[in-house]
Structure 1
């Protein structure tokens, strides 16, 4: 038994039949002609019946099959057929649903008439050739026009019986065009120009009937569209609404084909051939407005959204879409939202029991590839980063790399970067700036950083910084004491810094405190090693704070923040650290450690102690807070000193280096 009977004969009807069969719903599709039936392929879930049925035959079929519903997707002008289907459903008490073709948009330059006869009467009062696209059945209504055989060009199906019937009405030779659709805007326009037509006659057949392509072609060729309105004012569902209804009615699992497409910079010219094909086949586009608008096809549905969960929810609630393209800027693998989106969509499909989700990822042209080619520089030796919506210490990269490409995200992004470069003595760095890449208002230029400190540009921008005097980043910590700006404030000597930094075990994104920073020597080394993290130097003495500021500028440690104050109070409002170095506690060691482990129970702490009393306090603190890792290293270092022609070793104060940490849970 068939669950659904579909009266097709239209693109919408065929689409619904295929939709039901694809979801394994037993369906019988009806087409009035063998020609229409060829648009459907039978399978185990779809049976196709051809031939016209009157109302009595419909009743007999409905009574015999007892379907759960009948869907009427016949042509909007087939008023008699629709009436017969309704009556047969009422008599057999079969649920009936009407599927309507969406109307075309209203066009101010068009002439709207109620019938074929009205169209003929209007045209009879005009001059100029006419392209008729209403089909062979309506041609007789135009034969009453004077000079119709000279003015009218009829486009009909290229079937022998159709061509014969048209010839009998007087349409012959070049005035009879036998062709099978669909017809694109370009083809419609070519025919209007070929036959010098001033008018195009069409019915409002909706999107699926190529209506908009006809109207667009007519307007392009300065021809007047003559539109024959629909004979019935019906109520019903669109194809999309019908698919949604069927999904809920039969509890169908929605498994659309989803493409995550990188569209390049945004200009249509930047699309790959693969991307263009995917967009041509899509029945729904999803993405940010700028990107959707740049690639959207006429009449294509769109959902303007970039958040992953909202996209997933929309797809779940709209089963009418089978081929969905989610457009993403640049390349899907280059600082793209594709990763998070892919995770959300795949989790959703796996939760529905689908082991092979139909999600395809298609690459695009990234901004770095495009921009570097436009400025004539290679990018294989460039450091590539993004400062758009994420933390990024660009100063550190530019100081240590000859060439840095970065995505920015604010209108003052170039100026902010340029000011920092000038502050850290890098005003001569060349900044190549690119804005609105690939668009008509694309802007690309190059200037020194010190010329761009007041520049305001477009947020949609990238830069390439070229620093010919870059300093290679050391693979290990180790700055000589003599390189620091020094005053009277105490400084942790380089041998002690070396061991202390080793014990800290920093990563490039560590969040660090330096408590009792002194001249900031250890703060600077921490900042240079954790160059994409953050370091806070806490120091209570005003003269020492000034030394830290000077050293920060000298070493371009842009990720170093200086807090003037006494710990632990000065630490209260700071973000939770991953590491802390305590070089001076002013007698507050226990309170400082308590605050640190409150912020992060797994924090790694390194303490430098000179006096035995401080060592004792550190051990008591370690015991009180139950640190499982508790290591003490006693370090004695001596340096040679020249005395005449001899050298003597002069000892430094011995240091106790204590490491505390609880294991990661």
Structure 2
């Protein structure tokens, strides 16, 4: 039979005993007081030994039964008890496991987040009591009843004390023995909420809080926060225990090995996705902060995890391929993943959530339950700093992705832009200047929420001079913004043409309609010429990716000029001959073929191999090319083929008259490739 001996007296010890009993592991739990026995929930397989024990009595108890292990879950300030337990186990062959309560760095984190906090640290109660001599007003003493004599023996302190102790007879009797009256005694079981602590401090007109560094399980942080809110001086007696021992998860894993019982079986790991705002923990929601307090581990970018000093177990990675294997190996109960800004605003949270969902459905996969806690996005934070609204702003990002920034700025009075750093800000200045928008106003939020935060208002030209590295967010205001036209349809005169062939305006618009582009299409513009098709298609949506493929150097150079004048970042110019130029490109969802240089069959075959479901539109002028394409339609797997002949005539002035001038007829051929299993429609 598996048996564990637990020296308890803490929340962690009680929970450990409950969890072990649930799994059929018998537990003997030793507590010092009647109150300690009272708060233990009675369970099958649980035996409670109440009363303080000597080293000899501990040794006799350990030797009396065949225990798998001894777990020391006593209070971190009960160092004498821990020493006695270790002494009693001299020459014992069973393992000693110290369940360590995490207390370090929690107050330091609170001080870091508060500029007004009055807090002092002391190595013991004697030094703290001496320091209280220099204070005035009432003192809330929350260090327990054992060291009460240190404070009550000093007459100038005794009458000022309000002591909060456990509602056990032993604790209350000690208070009376030290001469404290009923109005000075608060006998209540904690831990207490921030609100409850505040209410007590207000009711008793407290000027100074004395507490031990007892960790979150003892309600330590709630006391500190309440004192901070009321601007009350705090005196902390530091944890005397060495920073040794095991975390709760590590103790459970050790007990699994010793008993052969899976203590985590059929339990899901709870994973909290937490939006960190700009990165400063002060911007966390209260709900998110509470989840971080109870997490066993947190993951995220290095900048984010380092901003949580109280978290001992933290790792600076955030991708599913790294997080999932770690969780499967270490099997914690509570985990947190930190995301910058808001979890629903250009965040990686969606990809990780999907990956965890797939993992949960896989055989022997990690079972998890995800909870999402949003943060403050950079757009709302910057808008607040600028004292402006953002609901009407166009929101785009060039943080690791391409976007048509100039087009957005030209068409919107306000544009909010996410960037990666100072190099992106300089690129922004160049783009806007090349697009002829030198007069727009750019407001930059630098290191938002951090001490070095700065709001900078500059011009596109001044962007080029920025050198300070760091985190930036941008709001661009264009008072001369033109209303965006929702349809494509650019006049031929808008393009720089030189002597390079160009698909004419009317043919171009019908051809683009036949393409039927979607928001995230990938288009090959084969034989791009001046790039008129590429430019118009790229302007439909910043998410469309266009590859303008042109073999002639002169034409490729001209495409780049036209791309620049419209400020397009989603057009890639590929100088080379098709289909060889397709080699390193992503597969196309659509292709427009304006020129094939005699390689029509090879081009269509290459596109089919890259994507058997692609949509194709071809412009044909000569009858020979028309014959070639129609023959290919008989041999290639296609569906929904359509051939349209267009004859465009434009009026030209001849004196007082307008005469229609005909242009060459053009055949617009469109079709889908037919994927395997599809019938020809």
**Mapped contact 2:403–2:542 kept (Cα < 8 A):** no
Q: Does 1:258 align with 2:271?
A: yes
* Residue 54 of structure 2 is aligned to residue 41 of structure 1: no
Match of 2:422 in 1: 411
- The equivalent of 2:15 in structure 1 is 15
* SS of aligned partner of 2:344: coil
1:425 counterpart SS class: coil
Is the 1:432–1:445 Cα contact (8 Å) retained in structure 2? yes
Larger radius of gyration: 1
Q: Is the 8 A contact 2:405 2:568 kept in 1?
A: no
Q: 2:111 maps to which residue?
A: none
| Separation of aligned partners in 2, 1:212 and 1:498 | 66
Match of 2:80 in 1: 77
Q: Does 1:619 align with 2:610?
A: no
Partner Cα separation in structure 2 for residue 456 and residue 234 of structure 1:
43
SS of the counterpart of 1:385?
A: strand
Match of 1:362 in 2: 373
Change (3 A) 1:81 1:210: farther
Look up the match of 2:442.
431
2:526 counterpart (515, 527, 550): 515
Contact 1:37 1:48 in 2 (8 A): no
- The structural deviation recorded for 1:434 is 1.0
Counterpart of 2:252 in structure 1 is 243
Aligned to 1:373: 384
| C-alpha contact (below 8 Å) 1:262/1:332 kept by paired residues | yes
Q: Which moved more, 1:382-391 or 1:587-596?
A: 587-596
How many angstroms apart in 2 are the aligned matches of 1:543 and 1:82?
A: 86
- 8 Å CA contact 1:518–1:544 kept in 2: the answer is yes
Is residue 298–residue 335 contact of structure 2 (8 Å, CA) maintained in 1?
yes
Pair 1:315-2:324 in alignment: no
Cα distance change on mapping 1:513 and 1:452 into 2, 3 Å: same
After TM superposition, give the deviation of residue 100 of structure 1 in Å: 4.5
Tell me the CA shift for residue 335 of structure 1.
1.3
1:551 to 535, 553, 562: 562
The CA deviation string for residues 348-369 of structure 1, in whole angstroms up to 9 with x for no partner, is 4455899995432122221111
2:463 counterpart (439, 445, 452) = 452
Corresponding residue number in structure 2 for 1:481 = 492
Distance change in 2, residues 1:62/1:373 (3 Å):
same
Match of residue 337 from structure 1 = 348
CA distance in 2, matches of 1:610, 1:280: 70
Structure 1 residues 639-650: aligned runs within 5 Å: 639-641=650-652, 648-650=659-661
Q: Is the 8 Å Cα contact of residues 629 and 663 (structure 1) preserved in structure 2?
A: no
1:283 Cα offset (Å): 4.7
Matching of residue 499 in structure 1 with residue 510 in structure 2: yes
CA contact (8 A) 2:33 2:52 kept: no
Change in Cα spacing, 1:653 to 1:126, as seen in structure 2 (3 Å) is: closer
Give the drift of 1:405: 0.8
Within 2, Cα distance between the matches of 1:390 and 1:287? 20
* SS of structure 1 residue aligned to 2:650: strand
- Root-mean-square deviation (CA, aligned residues, Å) is 5.0
Q: 1:116 matched to which residue of 2?
A: none
DSSP-derived class of the 1:77 partner: helix
Whole-angstrom CA distance in 1 between matches of 2:359 and 2:31: 38
Separation (CA, whole Å) in 2 of partners of 1:581 and 1:664: 19
CA gap of 1:640–1:101, structure 2 versus 1, over 3 A, is closer
**Structure 2 residue ranges without an equivalent (≥5):** 109-119, 677-681
CA contact (8 A) 2:647 2:662 kept: yes
Give per-residue Cα distances to partners, 1:318-374, cap 9 Å, x unaligned. 34x544333322221111222122223344445589999543212222111111122
CA distance in 2, matches of 1:127, 1:484: 81
Once the two structures are superposed, the pairs formed by residues 13-162 of structure 1 within 5 Å of their partners are: 13-21=13-21, 27=27, 29-43=29-43, 47=46, 49-52=48-51, 71-74=71-74, 76-78=79-81, 82=85, 97-101=96-100, 159-162=168-171
**Partner residue in 1 for 2:117:** none
- CA distance in structure 1 between the aligned counterparts of 2:236 and 2:542, rounded to whole angstroms: 67
Name the CA shift for 1:290/1:19 in 2 (closer, same or farther; >3 Å): farther
Q: Cα 1:99–1:350, aligned 2, differ >3 Å: closer, same or farther? A: farther
Would the aligned equivalents of 1:263 and 1:330 in 2 still touch at CA under 8 Å? Answer: yes
Q: Which residue is equivalent to 1:399?
A: 410
Aligned equivalents of 2:563, 2:499: Cα separation in 1: 17
Structure 1 residues 256 and 564: alpha-carbon distance in aligned structure 2, compared to 1, 3 A threshold: closer
Matched, 1:302 2:288: no
Partners of 1:627 and 1:453 lie apart in 2 by 51
The question of whether the paired residues in 2 share the 8 Å contact of 1:104 and 1:205 is answered with: yes
Q: CA separation in 1, counterparts of 2:645 and 2:354? A: 50
- Write the deviation string for residues 19-57 of structure 1: whole angstroms up to 9, x where unpaired: 3356675655443432112333235x5746353498899
| Offset from partner CA, 1:377-402 (integer Å, 9 cap, x none) | 32111111222122323223223333
- Report the equivalent of 1:469: 480
Separation in 1, partners of 2:286, 2:606: 59
Distance 2:207 2:593 in 1: 89
Greater CA drift, 630-639 or 98-107:
98-107
Given that 2:613 and 2:673 are in contact with CA atoms closer than 8 Å, whether structure 1 keeps it comes out as: yes
- What is the CA-CA distance between 1:428 and the residue it aligns to? 1.7
TM-score, scaled to structure 1: 0.77
1:390-437: CA deviations, max 9, x gaps? 232322322333321111112211110110111121222221211211
Q: Which residue of 2 aligns with 1:610?
A: 621
Whole-angstrom distance in 2 between the partners of 1:223 and 1:401: 55
Would the alpha carbon gap of residues 463 and 247 (structure 1) be closer, same or farther in structure 2, given more than 3 Å must change?
A: farther
Query: Matched residues in 2 for 1:568 and 1:454: separation?
Result: 42
Q: Deviations over 1:443-496 (max 9, x none)?
A: 112222133223234441111122233344433322233433444433322222
Q: Once structures 1 and 2 are overlaid, which stretch shifts more, 572-581 or 354-363?
A: 354-363
* Cα contact 2:191–2:217 (8 A) shared by 1: no
Aligned residue number for residue 679 of structure 2: none
- Residues 569-596 of structure 1: CA deviation (Å, up to 9, x unaligned): 5554544433322222232323333443
What is the CA deviation profile of residues 252-272 of structure 1, one whole-angstrom value per residue up to 9, with x for unaligned ones?
324343322223223344232
Of 433, 448, 457, which aligns to 1:422?
A: 433
